[in-house]
Amino acid sequence: MENDYLIQKKPFNALVLFSLPIIVGNLFQQTYTMADSAIVGRFVSEQALAAVGASYSLTNIFICVAIGGGIGSSVVVSRYFGAHHYKKMCTAIFTALIAFLAISILLGGVGLLLSEQIMTALNTPADVLDMAIDYLNIYFLGLPFLFMYNVLSAMFNALGKSKIPLYFLIFSSLFNIALDWILVTQFQMGVTGVAWATLIAQSISAVLSFGVLLRLLSSISRENDGIFSFREIPAMVKIALPSILQQSTVSIGMMLVQSVVNSFGSEALAGYSAGIRIQSLVIVPFTSLGNAVSSYTAQNIGAQKEHRVTEGYKVANLLVLFCSVIICVVLELFNRQIISLFLGENGTAVAMSTGCDYLAFTGFFFCLMGFKCAVDGVLRGSGDVKMFTLANLVNLFIRVSFAVVFAPIYGIAMVWYAVPLGWLVNWIISFLEYRTGKWKRICLQ
């Protein structure tokens, strides 16, 4: 089949061909989340930017749950696809969609009930608390659409159709930015305007994506082993839970240290929020490449071509180095101009220095993030998830404990000093596990 290129083409060509649409698509996704912050920061107030930033650390966890769950499910789908077990593949896809729809409804309901208590517990500054809660409540209403869209995207990737999510992301991103502009600048809706814009754009994309997926599946196989199968759940959960943890490590760390950042006031929070938004953008090539390696590994395992996994991993590391150099140069030379996009001409000195310092320091270390994502992709795609899970937990512990202990004493910079340390230890643990070769024995079982 034409979708078999992940197991047929040379590893470099296969990974580049597969990962580029994912990278571009995720860049568009991050662009419109950045647009939320930039538009409210420039056209509403610095406090509005801080409110969106205070909410972002929490909302991004739900995004990561959706993405990680989708990736975990897609590993199972990829294996069936690589082995040409199309009936089981279709059943696995529908099982994942139904399961995550139920989970998203549950999480959205809990979020609506507890949004105020959560933001209060995170020590959100009083002058931005109400705006942050309003933003969150609208976000939780749209959670089922967010989950469905991200799980659907993972299913397309599992089938080798990474361009389809790209097209929908481009549409959703441009539509979202246009709505941001209209609702904030024309209708003066402030923070709630960008929240409604995101909900509307994601809901339309989710519905359209589902229709396209049904058409694609009908062209592959018109039969399945049922719409829902409990037998598929354990295999999905085994991969999905570590994937969710891996995807969420950065966001959970951000949320847990949010109370530390919040204690420095809304001005520092605004600068930190701008820096975090940029970080979310620049790590896209690495997280996307890691996700691509995961699908690449799973498909080649399903096709019993394990030797291609090692070759693909080497290619992934070379791509990480290439992207890291470019990112480092841009952030070191233009960090002030980048932060100014969010704060405008009236940004305070505290906000500006906080954002610039964050980018100037972390810019040198994104290669560590990339190396970690590449090796994690191999372990996840092969089903070797025990040390993979431990590595991400250690990463999270280092980042949170370092910030909580040292930031109150030595200043807010301690929040980001721990970031590369966490990435490094995570990579070391995962790489040592990869070197044992256990993932080969697991994948052959």
pLDDT at 226 over 50: yes
Token pair recorded at residue 199:
């909900």
What does the mean pLDDT of the chain come to? 83
d(CA 134, CA 289): 35
Using alpha carbons, list the distances in angstroms from residue 357 to 59, 335, 383, 436.
24, 8, 39, 39
pLDDT at 55 over 50: yes
**What digits encode the pLDDT tens for the residues 140-191?**
999 999 888 888 888 888 887 878 887 888 888 889 888 888 998 888 888 8
pLDDT for 370: 94
pLDDT at 290 over 50: yes
Per the CB < 8 A criterion, the answer to whether 186 and 240 are in contact is no
Residues 61, 65, 69, CA angle at the centre, nearest 5°?
A: 165
Name the amino acid, one letter, at 150.
Answer: N
Residues 119, 124, 125, CA angle at the centre, nearest 5°?
A: 150
Q: How confident is the model at residue 445 (pLDDT cuts 50, 70, 90)?
A: very low
Per the CB < 8 A criterion, the answer to whether 381 and 329 are in contact is no
Q: Lowest-pLDDT range, 27-41, 345-359, 375-389?
A: 27-41
Average pLDDT over residues 386-404: 85
Average pLDDT over residues 335-347: 80
More confident of the two residues 141 and 126: 141
pLDDT at 303 over 90: no
Using H for helix, E for strand and C for coil, what is the string for 286-339? HHHHHHHHHHHHHHHHHCCCCHHHHHHHHHHHHHHHHHHHHHHHHHHHHHHHHH
d(CA 133, CA 155): 33
pLDDT for 156: 87
**What digits encode the pLDDT tens for the residues 200-211?**
988 998 899 999
pLDDT at 429 over 90: yes
pLDDT for 385: 77
Per the CB < 8 A criterion, the answer to whether 194 and 180 are in contact is yes
d(CA 432, CA 164): 36
Q: How confident is the model at residue 247 (pLDDT cuts 50, 70, 90)?
A: low
Q: Lowest-pLDDT range, 166-180, 225-239, 244-258, 308-322?
A: 244-258
| Residue 168, helix vs strand vs coil | helix
pLDDT at 121 over 60: yes
Using alpha carbons, list the distances in angstroms from residue 223 to 2, 179, 233, 274.
20, 40, 20, 49
**What digits encode the pLDDT tens for the residues 358-378?**
999 999 999 999 999 999 989
**What digits encode the pLDDT tens for the residues 80-89?**
887 778 888 8
Quick one: CA torsion of 254, 255, 257, 258, rounded to 10 degrees? 110
Average pLDDT over residues 67-90: 80
Per the CB < 8 A criterion, the answer to whether 224 and 87 are in contact is yes
Residue 241 burial (C-beta neighbours within 10 Å; 0-12, 13-18, 19+): middle
Q: Lowest-pLDDT range, 95-99, 243-247, 305-309?
A: 243-247
pLDDT for 302: 74
pLDDT at 3 over 70: no
Average pLDDT over residues 22-35: 74
Token pair recorded at residue 369:
């993030």
Answer left, alpha or beta for residue 224, where phi above 0 means left and psi between -120 and 50 means alpha: beta
Q: List the chain domain ranges.
A: 5-443
Q: Say if pTM beats, i.e. exceeds, 0.95.
A: no
Using alpha carbons, list the distances in angstroms from residue 123 to 134, 273, 277, 416.
16, 15, 20, 19
